Amino acid sequence: MTDLAIQVSALRKSFKATEVLKSVDLSVRRGEIFALLGSNGAGKTTTINILATLLKPDSGSASICGFDVLRQPVKVRENISLTGQFAAVDGLLTGRENLVLIARLRGVHSPHQTADMLLSRFGLSAAAQRRADSYSGGMTRRLDIAMSLVGTPAVIFLDEPTTGLDPEGRLEVWKTIKELADGGTTILLTTQQLEEAEQLADHIAILHGGSIIANGTLNELKQHFPPAKVEYIEKQPSLEDIFLAIIGQKGGK
């Protein structure tokens, strides 16, 4: 129907006297990784929550796969999945039970098979029968993302997916996001880490003070700024490189 997975125009939202979104416009093509970059309080989560039908905008419009978030919220929900800023897993259930629960609620035909497939895909098979509250931060996040993939929604919202993860966990999540996009899923992710946007996104929008102040591919954004100077600097390994190299020798995943 339309080649746009997400279309937002003139979106406004205030909480009491605070105007969080002044006028947000953006469009995301199908199969794209779109990064919404901004500092704390820029309105990233508010935007995502409106798109995920959790919040109503004061004015403006938003549609997902051609369905209006206000008029056709049920259709929108069939096409999306939200992975919020904090992992939403049920700690009292095992990893497997969490996935089966979501699969049943989404009306997937074979909930148990779906759960097992996702568990092995996310390297959680060994921990499948353990309660999710015993998982490490990285495992919890992986389970969280796995839960969002149940029923293969067309659009996935990831709100700061790597906040609070160690470098290893972050790389794992990045890999997952790339694989998802390769499989044709549209991804809207928010982040405050420039590197994350640079690594993952086909398209980057910078949200600042309630509106989008820059929007384009990484190359387009670079053109807006003074041309790069060529400097020769001896490349020192960063602490992260060192950390990952040492961990890598351990042979762990």
- Closest CB to another protein among 88 and 117? 88
Residue 227 C-beta: closest distance to another protein, Å? 43
Residue 218 C-beta: closest distance to another protein, Å? 29
Residue 8 C-beta: closest distance to another protein, Å? 17
Instruction: For residue 28, count CB atoms less than 10 angstroms from its CB and return exposed for 0-12, middle for 13-18, buried for 19 or more.
Output: buried
- Closest CB to another protein among 4 and 101? 101
Residue 194 C-beta: closest distance to another protein, Å? 26
- According to DSSP, the β-strands at 186-191 and 33-37 are parallel
DSSP class per residue in 207-253: EETTEEEEEE-HHHHHHTSPPPPP-----PPPHHHHHHHHHHHTT--
- Closest CB to another protein among 33 and 50? 50
Residue 5 C-beta: closest distance to another protein, Å? 16
How far apart, in whole angstroms, are the C-alpha atoms of residue 207 and residue 188? 13
Query: 3-class DSSP state for residue 39?
Result: coil
- Closest CB to another protein among 100 and 221? 100
Residue 89 C-beta: closest distance to another protein, Å? 8
* Contacts to another protein by CB under 8 A: 52-54, 74, 77-78, 80-82, 84, 86-93, 97, 101-102, 104-107, 131, 147
- Closest CB to another protein among 1 and 74? 74
- Closest CB to another protein among 69 and 207? 69
Residue 160 C-beta: closest distance to another protein, Å? 13
Instruction: For residue 239, count CB atoms less than 10 angstroms from its CB and return exposed for 0-12, middle for 13-18, buried for 19 or more.
Output: exposed
How far apart, in whole angstroms, are the C-alpha atoms of residue 62 and residue 71? 10
How far apart, in whole angstroms, are the C-alpha atoms of residue 122 and residue 126? 11
- Closest CB to another protein among 102 and 212? 102
Neighbouring-strand partners of residue 83:
158
How far apart, in whole angstroms, are the C-alpha atoms of residue 144 and residue 87? 6
How far apart, in whole angstroms, are the C-alpha atoms of residue 205 and residue 28? 10
